[in-house]
Each structure stands twice: as C-alpha cells, then as structure tokens.
Chains A and B, each alone.
Chain A
C-alpha cells in the first residue's frame, strides 16, 4: 500500500520556466511533509518542508504548497535551472510522535537548456 504517491516518474522543463512536481498521500495522520532532491551516486538532500498547519512555505526559488482536503502537495521551482535536474522525492511523517518518514517513488526532473 503506497501511502505517498508521485504519479509522474519523469518531467522535462525548459530552463527559466516553472517546474511543478506533485505528490499525493492517503494517510490523514500525516502532519509534516518534506521534499528531497537526489543526484546520482549521492544521498537525498533535504530541500524544503511544510507543516500541516500551513498551506504554503517558500524558500528562494522553491515553494511547497499543501492542500489538506485534497491530500496533495506540490513543489514549485522557479525559475528552473540546469542544476535542478535530479530525482525529487516527497516524504511524509505521521503525527503519532513517530520520526518515521514515508517516501514517494520519486520524479526525475530534467531541465532543458
């Protein structure tokens, strides 16, 4: 049972345009959400997070939006740069005081120069 889903395995975006990566979840107990970026042969790198009490969090070129009623979150990157080409994972944590993160399967983002 995949509780965190990233339905798009890949996405290609022109440099300078907006990249939008999507993530859906099924567990209503999730209260904290994170996005990670992963380059080949490296570990995932934390990008940005959002608590369930917010609907938006922004950090430079990265913005995460959370729609709790739809159980959906998205990561916006604007403007997209070649260095943003990587695999992006969303992750979620339950509010039971558990530190455990559940990860999606990832979306490979390719920025076209």
Chain B
C-alpha cells in the first residue's frame, strides 16, 4: 500500500512568492494533519481535518497560512506571501479518527530566500 504522498519534496522560493504544498493521505484514512518541523520549535501541529472538515487550526501561525481539503484524497497547505522564517520541513500525516496513530509522509523541505 502506498503511504502518505507529499509533493514537492523540496521547494526553494523567494520571499513574497506563493507556495503550495500538496498531500495525498493513505486510502481509507479520514483524518489528516499538517505539521511543521523547525530546529527551534520541533514538530508542531498546524491544522487537522476529520472527514475533510477542519477541526483545529490553532497552530496555523498567521493569516498567510491556509489549508484546504476538498476531498478525502487531497489536501493543500498554502503560504501567501512566503517569508524566510517559513523555511522548515512540512509534514502531512493521516490516520483514522479515534485510533490515535498517525502515519507521516516524507515531508516537503521549504526554503524561502
């Protein structure tokens, strides 16, 4: 079975540009999570969805960040405009509601110059 798929794996952009990260969860999973990992803050949850509905977005740093889940097999995390401090590895994870375990994708390494 395919795991969580994220694209792109690496993204280098300039400050002020829009960045869109993509995630395909594991088939049959109905919860989806976006995380950000930095040296300073470790692994922090940005937002999560249950059954395509955003449940908790308290970790989204500011209005420049937005996430959507138009259907059960696709989600996006958008940063507009991007800033150098957004440079991090962004992980998507999926799971089944109520089961606890989350399965992570390989991550997208974002560098904003």
Interface positions of A (Cβ within 8 A of B): 32, 34, 36, 41-46, 49, 89, 93, 98-106
User: A42 with B42: in contact, given A34-B101, A100-B56 (CB under 8 Å)?
Assistant: no
Shortest CB–CB separation between residue B111 and chain A, in angstroms? 14
Q: How many A-B residue pairs have CB under 8 A?
A: 50
Q: Taking the complex as formed, is B74 at the interface, i.e. its CB lies under 8 A from any CB of chain A? A: no
Chain A minimum-CB-distance residue to B58: A100
User: Which of A43, A103, A106 has the most chain B CB within a 10 Å cutoff?
Assistant: A43
Q: How far is the CA of A90 from the CA of B45 in the complex (A)?
A: 14
A2 to B75, CA, bound (A): 29
Q: Is the interface of B mostly helix, strand, loop or mixed?
A: strand
Cβ contact within 8 Å between A43 and B48: no
**Known: A34-B101, A43-B105. Contact between A99 and B42, CB under 8 A?**
no
B12 interfacial by beta-carbon distance below 8 Å: no
Whether the pair A99, B31 counts as a contact (CB closer than 8 A) is: yes
Contact of B104 with A32 in the complex, beta carbons under 8 Å: no
Within 8 A of A (CB), among B89-113: 91, 93, 95, 97-98, 100-107
